[in-house]
Structure 1
Amino acid sequence: MSETGPPTPEEDDRVLVGEYVLGLLSPEAARAVEDRLAREPALRDLHADWEASLSPLLRARPVEPPPRLEAAIAARLFPVRRRAAVAKWLALFGVPVAAFVLALLAVQPQLRAPAPALDAEMATDGEAEGAALRFAASVTGDTLTVERLAGTARPGRALELWLIAGEAAPVSLGLLPETGPLTVTLAAPPAPGTILAVSDEPPGGSPTGAPTGDVLAAGALTET
């Protein structure tokens, strides 16, 4: 999977025109968009796309949102400088319509803040029996790569990799190959502090969906 990069000018313009159509911009910013619409055909195409997509929602019957729900949605998805505009939009179009569009606009912070690169080192304790194991792990976006730097599994056993996020139960990421790295596409980029662990398991991996053997090595992901 390709690395997440900064937003392109086209992505910035798409978000900007969407906010213009929804009436979320300040008067000065709205006038700037209108000036650009007059002279930029590509921006006019974006404007037409947004209006075509949102026109069924903008015709929906208004529903007055409860004050607590209105404030919670605005505080959750937008910084302080936009909450007044979001609250106005909620009052005009109601919670069902507003929640749908807010979910679309919530991708903007993600475009501007790509997931950090992470890495971790995992090694057996100095008092552990058998050959010492050592691994290096790196995460870019939602792609995890683990390389074995030293050690092998015990005879007749396999090494299984686990991800532990906070208080959640360990999630198996598969068996570590005898040679070469293991690359896994995660469901979502992990947060710093997420634990990677390697356990001793029977051939084919844990039969229970949880570690059944000794945890031989573990380490926390940290920002690089």
Structure 2
Amino acid sequence: MSIDEMNHRSEHQHPAQVQPRTVIFVAYPQMGLLDLTGAQTVFWAATRSLGELGLPGYDLHTASLDGGSIRTGEGLVVETQRLGELADSLIDTLIVPGSPHMRQVMADSAPLVDWLRVAATTARRTTSVCSGSFFLARAGLLDGLRVATHWLMADLFERMFPQVELDREAIFVQQGSVWTSAGVSAGIDLALAMVEADNGREVAMQVARRMVVYYRRPDNQEQWSPLLQSQCPAGA
């Protein structure tokens, strides 16, 4: 077996993993619903697939600073735990969804940013979906890194965080333990990539089949795909 093959196997095999990995979806008012539920469904489906193999999956929590009901940007109300209740949890992955109202959300972001700054020091992996990258950047977690965010928010992001290298084309980016993604459905691609990193390609493919989605788009695919561009009216 080559060194590359050994490294590939060791990346996906975790023989000491006997408990589910704790994944916290960080909720806040006006967050995007699909930003939350798209990635969440990937980890839920992965847990089902892993359970069929007799392997631990993921322990999923949707939590906010105060707990209780959180109204999403689309108007649906989501029930959440209080983040403080999870303070003693061994956090594997933090996932911060974006918001269609990020300008307004950022005005009241300080308490959640402070929590993220501390929690990220012990989490194995810190991630954002869509404009959730604004929270990570404000917490100083993206300084000097290449990241992705929704293309509609790119100009604002670059003005606010010149110390971060924004990749306007990528649908998701991994930089060490930090993962970021472009808008909305790209969170599904991001989550599938993380499931593959944790458990291997076959489990990720099973999840994609359960969800009836592409196995996953490559991370360097443009947010405006050639197919989408071809469907736009001339001059649009």
TM-score bucket (shorter structure): under 0.3
Per the normalisation by structure 2, the TM-score is 0.25
Q: Which has the higher contact order (CA 8 A, sep 6+)?
A: 2
Per the normalisation by structure 1, the TM-score is 0.26
Higher CA-based Rg: 1
